[in-house]
C-alpha cells in the first residue's frame, strides 16, 4: 500500500504582484538565484542586518547533524538589536507599539520608552537572582509587558518559556516543571470577550505544584482581587521603580533564547529550543522580505497571541529587530462587535495585516457587510499563517479585505522552524489562492514519497526540509533522542537512508504542475478511504468552495466497508438557513458538491452542520477530538482546547443525528 497522498484538487487562478509594490520591493527575484549560488554566503549577508559585538568565524557548523550551530563564534544581544540600536540611530520617538486594550483603553510605546521598560525589567529580574541560562515562565495577556518581559529575559540571557494566558493549571505547571523555571511573570488578569478574565489564580495553583519557582512577578491589568503569597511581587512596585539604566551584555550566537512548547497529537508537550543569532537573523530577514516592511511608513499588525510562535517571531523579534511600528491588540475579534478588527485597521491605518485562516473563515461566516463598513484602503500586504488557507477563504480575504489590490502571503512554517520557510514574496510571486508557493531564498524544501524520493511536479507526498536553516530548532529541551526520533528518523541519514540529514515536517504536501507547493495538513490527519490516502485539507477546501459554507473540518472515521469514511463538520455562512428540510437539502447538496469537485472517492459519508469547531488557542482545528466524536469515543486530552463548551455542543449534535 502506497503512503503517498492522493491529491485531487486543482487551482488555476493566479495573481501577480501590483506593479508599484514590485518596483519598490525589499526583495526581488534575483534573491532566489543569489541564494542558490551560495546559500551560506546569502545567510551571512542576512546576518549582517543585525548588530554583532563579535563577528562569527563560521557560518554553519553541521559536523554533528542534526545538531546545528550557526554563526559560530559570533556574539550579540537580542534586546539591544530589538530596542537600543533603534534609539541610538535617532529613532527613539518612533512608535514601537500602538496597544489597544479590549475595553478600548490605549497605550503608545515608543522605542525610547521600550528601552526604559526593558532595562527596568532586566534590572528587576537580576535583583530577583535570575542569571544567564536560567528559565523564566511568562503567562501574560496581550499587553506591552509581554514583549517587555521577553526582551528583558533576552537582555540578561535568561531563557523564556511563554505559556498561553488561559491555558490550564495542568498545562502551565507541566511546562514550568519541564523547564525548571525560577520565576513566573504574570498578571492579575486580562480582558477577553468583554470581561476581565483572571490569570493569577491559575498561577497560584500551578506554583503550588512547581518547587522550582522562587518568585512571581505580577502585572496589574484588570485590578481584580488577587490572593497574595510571599513569592509574589507587583510589577509596578518593582520593575517600574527600578533603574532605567542597563547595559546589555553580549551572548554567544548559540546561547538559548527561548523554549516554546508544542502539544502535537501524542505524548507530553515538546519543549522546542531556539537560540540567539540564527533565530534572530531569520526572524528579522523574513519579516522584512515576506511583508516587504518599510519601517518608516508601514503600520504592521499581527493578530496572533504572544503564546504562539507567531507572536514570538512576528510580534516581538522580527518586527522589533526591524524597527517596525506595530499594533498590538489584547482581546477577541467580536468585542464589542464583529467589526473590531476592521475598526482597528481603519483607526491605526494598518498597512500590513498578518492573521490566521481560522479568523478569515470566521469573518466569512459573519458576513461580507461587516468589513465593507470600514475604510481598509491603508492595507497593502496581507498574510496568513497557521493552517492551509482554503482557496475560497483566500479569495474572500483578497476581495473583502484587500479590495482586490493587495498581495496575500500564505506563510508556511512551524514552532520548530522558528520563522517563515515557504511563502510567496509580495513583490515577486504571482500567487495562487491556497498555495504557499515556494521556499524562500536560502531555504531548501521538497516533497518526497515514502521512499524519500523527490516527487515530480503533479505529485504528492511528505514535506521535508533538505538543508539546515538559521532559525531551526536546536533540540527538544533535555530530550535529544526525541528530537532525532521525531524529526530526523523518517527520511535521509537519520532513517539509515544515504548520508544527507532530512527534516520531516509532519505535513503532507503536493507540487502542482508548475512546481508550486500546496500544504495538505498534518499527515496524522490523513484519511485512508478504500485504500486511498486523502488529505483533510482538500475535502475541507472543496466544502468551503460552496457558497453556503464558511468553515469545515473533516476526519476519517472507522467504517466497516471502506476502512475509513469521511465525516465532515461544517459551519454554514451567516445568511444560510439550516433548519429542518433546508438543512437536509443543504447536506445532500454539499455531499454532491464534494463528489463533483474532487471525485466520488471523496464524497463524505456524513455531514454535520455545526456552529463552532474545536480549536487550539492558536486557531488550529483539533481534528483528533472530532475523530473521537465521529467514532463515538470519550474525548482525549483537551488541555489546549480554546473553548471546551464547543465539544459538548458538537457531541450532542452528533448523537441526535444518529
- Separation of alpha carbons 317 and 177, rounded Å: 26
Collapsing DSSP to helix, strand or coil, 81 comes out as helix
The reply on whether position 413 binds ligand 6R9 by CB under 6 A is: yes
Among 310, 406, 535, 640, binds ligand 6R9 (CB under 6 A): 310
Task: Give the DSSP letter string of 225-258.
Answer: -----TTEEEHHHHGGGS-S--PPPPEETTSEEE
Do residues 99 and 328 touch, judged by C-beta distance below 8 A? yes
310 is in an annotated binding site: yes
Among 415, 435, 541, 564, binds ligand 6R9 (CB under 6 A): 415
Q: Shortest distance, CB of residue 537 to ligand 6R9, whole angstroms?
A: 8
- Separation of alpha carbons 277 and 351, rounded Å: 29
Of 207 and 437, which CB lies nearer to ligand 6R9 in the complex structure? 437
Of 252 and 540, which CB lies nearer to ligand 6R9 in the complex structure? 540
56 is in an annotated binding site: no
Taken in order 626, 629, 635, 641, the sign of the CA dihedral is positive
Site string for ligand 6R9, 257-286 (x = CB under 6 A): -----x------------------------
The reply on whether position 505 binds ligand 6R9 by CB under 6 A is: yes
Q: Shortest distance, CB of residue 487 to ligand 6R9, whole angstroms?
A: 11
Q: Residue 139 contacts by C-beta under 8 Å, 6 or more apart in sequence?
A: 162, 163, 165, 167, 172, 184, 185, 186, 199, 202, 203
Of 419 and 550, which CB lies nearer to ligand 6R9 in the complex structure? 419
Q: Angle at Cα 284 formed by Cα 63 and Cα 388, nearest 5°?
A: 90
Q: How many residues does the chain have?
A: 658
Backbone angles phi, psi at 256, to 5 degrees: -60, 130
Of 308 and 396, which CB lies nearer to ligand 6R9 in the complex structure? 308
Q: Shortest distance, CB of residue 269 to ligand 6R9, whole angstroms?
A: 11
Task: Give the DSSP letter string of 357-398.
Answer: HHHHHHHHHH-THHHHTS--TT--EEEE-SSPPPHHHHHHII
Location of C-alpha cell 463515538 = 632
- Separation of alpha carbons 110 and 32, rounded Å: 35
- Which grid cell is 366? 459573519
Among 138, 148, 309, 526, binds ligand 6R9 (CB under 6 A): 309
Q: Shortest distance, CB of residue 469 to ligand 6R9, whole angstroms?
A: 14
The reply on whether position 102 binds ligand 6R9 by CB under 6 A is: no
- Separation of alpha carbons 79 and 338, rounded Å: 36
Site string for ligand 6R9, 370-409 (x = CB under 6 A): ---------------xxxx---------------------
Q: Shortest distance, CB of residue 554 to ligand 6R9, whole angstroms?
A: 15
The reply on whether position 435 binds ligand 6R9 by CB under 6 A is: no
450 is in an annotated binding site: no
The closest of 282, 252, 454, 552 to 290, measured between CA atoms, is 282
Of 9 and 120, which CB lies nearer to ligand 6R9 in the complex structure? 9
- Separation of alpha carbons 615 and 622, rounded Å: 5
Span from 367-375, 504-512, 543-551, 638-646 in contact with ligand 6R9 (CB under 6 A): 504-512
The reply on whether position 100 binds ligand 6R9 by CB under 6 A is: no
Task: Give the DSSP letter string of 582-635.
Answer: HHHHHHHHHHHHHHHHH-GGG--SEEEE-S---BBTT--B-HHHHHHHHTT---
Collapsing DSSP to helix, strand or coil, 535 comes out as coil
Of 215 and 287, which CB lies nearer to ligand 6R9 in the complex structure? 287
Of 252 and 392, which CB lies nearer to ligand 6R9 in the complex structure? 392
Please provide the distance, in angstroms rounded to a whole number, between the alpha carbons at the two ends of the chain: 33
Of 221 and 398, which CB lies nearer to ligand 6R9 in the complex structure? 398
192 is in an annotated binding site: yes
Of 519 and 608, which CB lies nearer to ligand 6R9 in the complex structure? 519
Span from 112-120, 187-195, 308-316, 541-549 in contact with ligand 6R9 (CB under 6 A): 308-316
386 is in an annotated binding site: yes
- Separation of alpha carbons 341 and 348, rounded Å: 11
- Separation of alpha carbons 581 and 585, rounded Å: 6
Of 606 and 616, which CB lies nearer to ligand 6R9 in the complex structure? 616
Site string for ligand 6R9, 446-485 (x = CB under 6 A): ----------------------------------------
The reply on whether position 414 binds ligand 6R9 by CB under 6 A is: yes
Among 47, 184, 213, 519, binds ligand 6R9 (CB under 6 A): 519
The reply on whether position 411 binds ligand 6R9 by CB under 6 A is: yes
Of 335 and 414, which CB lies nearer to ligand 6R9 in the complex structure? 414
Do residues 569 and 605 touch, judged by C-beta distance below 8 A? no
Q: Residue 230 contacts by C-beta under 8 Å, 6 or more apart in sequence?
A: none
Q: Tell me the β-bridge partners of 510.
A: 460, 518
Residues near ligand 6R9 (CB under 6 A) are: 262, 308-310, 385-388, 410-415, 436, 505-507, 519, 522, 618
Binding site, by residue number, is 192-195, 310, 386-388, 410-415, 507, 522, 530, 544, 546, 549
Binding site for ATP, by residue number, is 386-388, 410-415, 507, 522
Amino acid at each position: 500500500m502506497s503512503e503517498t497522498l492522493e491529491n485531487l484538487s486543482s487551482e488555476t487562478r493566479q495573481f501577480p504582484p501590483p506593479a508599484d509594490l514590485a518596483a519598490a520591493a525589499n526583495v526581488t527575484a534575483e534573491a532566489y538565484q543569489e541564494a542558490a549560488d551560495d546559500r551560506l554566503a546569502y545567510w551571512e549577508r542576512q546576518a549582517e542586518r543585525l548588530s554583532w559585538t563579535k563577528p562569527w568565524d563560521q557560518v554553519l557548523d553541521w559536523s554533528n547533524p542534526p545538531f546545528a550551530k550557526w554563526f559560530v563564534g559570533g556574539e550579540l544581544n537580542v534586546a539591544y538589536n530589538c530596542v537600543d540600536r533603534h534609539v541610538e540611530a535617532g529613532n527613539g520617538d518612533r512608535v514601537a507599539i500602538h496597544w489597544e486594550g479590549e475595553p478600548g483603553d490605549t497605550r503608545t510605546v515608543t522605542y525610547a520608552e521600550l528601552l526604559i521598560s526593558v532595562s527596568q525589567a532586566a534590572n528587576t529580574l537580576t535583583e530577583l537572582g535570575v542569571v544567564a541560562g536560567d528559565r523564566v515562565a511568562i503567562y501574560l495577556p496581550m499587553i506591552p509587558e509581554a514583549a517587555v518581559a521577553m526582551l528583558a529575559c533576552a537582555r540578561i540571557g535568561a531563557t523564556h518559556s511563554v505559556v498561553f494566558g488561559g491555558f490550564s493549571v495542568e498545562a502551565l505547571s507541566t511546562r514550568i516543571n519541564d523547564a525548571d523555571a525560577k520565576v513566573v511573570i504574570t498578571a492579575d488578569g486580562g480582558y477577553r470577550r468583554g470581561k476581565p478574565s483572571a490569570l493569577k489564580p491559575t498561577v497560584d495553583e500551578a506554583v503550588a505544584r512547581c518547587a522550582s519557582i522562587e518568585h512571581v512577578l505580577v502585572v496589574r491589568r484588570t485590578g481584580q482581587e488577587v490572593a497574595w503569597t510571599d513569592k509574589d511581587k507587583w510589577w509596578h512596585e518593582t520593575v517600574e521603580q527600578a533603574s532605567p539604566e542597563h547595559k546589555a551584555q553580549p551572548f554567544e550566537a548559540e546561547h538559548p533564547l527561548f523554549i516554546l512548547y508544542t502539544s502535537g497529537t501524542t505524548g507530553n508537550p515538546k519543549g522546542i529550543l531556539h537560540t540567539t543569532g540564527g533565530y534572530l537573523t531569520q526572524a528579522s530577514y523574513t519579516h522584512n522580505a515576506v511583508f516587504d516592511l518599510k519601517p518608516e511608513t508601514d503600520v504592521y499588525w499581527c493578530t496572533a497571541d504572544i503564546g504562539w510562535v507567531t507572536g514570538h517571531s512576528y510580534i516581538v523579534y522580527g518586527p522589533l529587530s526591524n524597527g517596525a511600528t506595530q499594533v498590538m491588540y489584547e482581546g477577541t475579534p467580536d468585542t464589542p462587535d464583529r467589526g473590531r478588527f476592521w475598526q482597528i485597521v481603519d483607526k491605526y491605518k494598518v498597512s500590513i495585516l498578518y492573521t490566521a485562516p481560522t479568523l478569515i473563515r470566521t469573518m466569512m461566516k459573519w458576513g461580507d457587510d461587516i468589513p465593507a463598513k470600514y475604510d481598509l484602503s491603508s492595507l497593502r500586504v496581507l498574510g496568513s499563517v497557521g493552517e492551509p488557507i482554503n482557496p475560497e477563504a483566500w479569495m474572500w480575504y483578497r476581495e473583502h479585505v484587500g479590495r482586490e489590490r493587495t498581495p496575500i502571503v500564505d506563510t508556511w512554517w512551524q514552532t520548530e522552524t522558528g520563522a517563515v520557510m515557504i511563502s510567496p514574496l509580495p513583490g515577486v510571486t504571482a500567487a495562487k489562492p491556497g498555495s504557499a508557493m515556494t521556499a524562500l531564498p536560502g531555504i531548501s524544501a521538497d516533497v518526497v514519497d515514502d521512499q524519500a524520493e523527490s516527487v515530480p511536479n503533479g505529485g504528492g507526498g511528505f514535506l521535508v526540509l533538505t538543508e539546515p536553516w538559521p532559525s531551526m530548532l536546536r533540540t527538544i529541551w533535555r530530550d535529544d533522542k526525541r528530537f532525532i526520533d521525531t524529526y530526523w528518523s523518517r527520511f535521509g541519514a537519520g532513517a539509515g537512508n544515504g548520508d544527507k540529514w532530512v527534516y520531516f515536517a509532519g505535513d503532507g504536501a503536493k507540487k502542482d504542475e508548475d512546481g508550486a507547493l500546496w500544504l495538505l495538513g498534518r499527515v496524522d490527519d490523513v484519511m485512508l478511504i478504500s485504500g486511498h490516502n486523502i488529505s483533510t485539507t482538500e475535502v475541507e477546501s472543496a466544502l468551503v468552495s460552496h457558497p453556503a459554507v464558511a468553515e469545515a473540518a473533516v476526519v476519517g472515521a472507522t467504517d466497516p466497508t471502506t476502512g475509513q469514511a469521511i465525516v465532515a463538520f461544517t459551519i454554514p455562512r451567516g445568511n444560510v438557513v439550516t433548519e429542518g428540510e433546508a438543512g437536509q437539502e443543504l447536506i445532500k447538496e454539499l455531499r454532491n458538491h464534494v463528489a463533483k469537485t474532487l471525485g466520488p472517492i471523496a464524497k463524505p459519508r456524513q455531514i454535520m452542520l455545526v456552529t463552532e469547531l474545536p480549536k487550539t488557542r492558536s486557531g488550529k482545528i483539533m481534528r483528533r477530538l472530532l475523530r473521537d466524536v465521529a467514532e463515538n469515543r470519550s474525548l482525549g486530552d483537551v488541555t489546549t482546547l480554546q473553548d471546551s463548551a464547543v465539544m459538548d455542543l458538537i457531541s450532542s449534535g452528533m448523537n441526535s443525528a444518529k
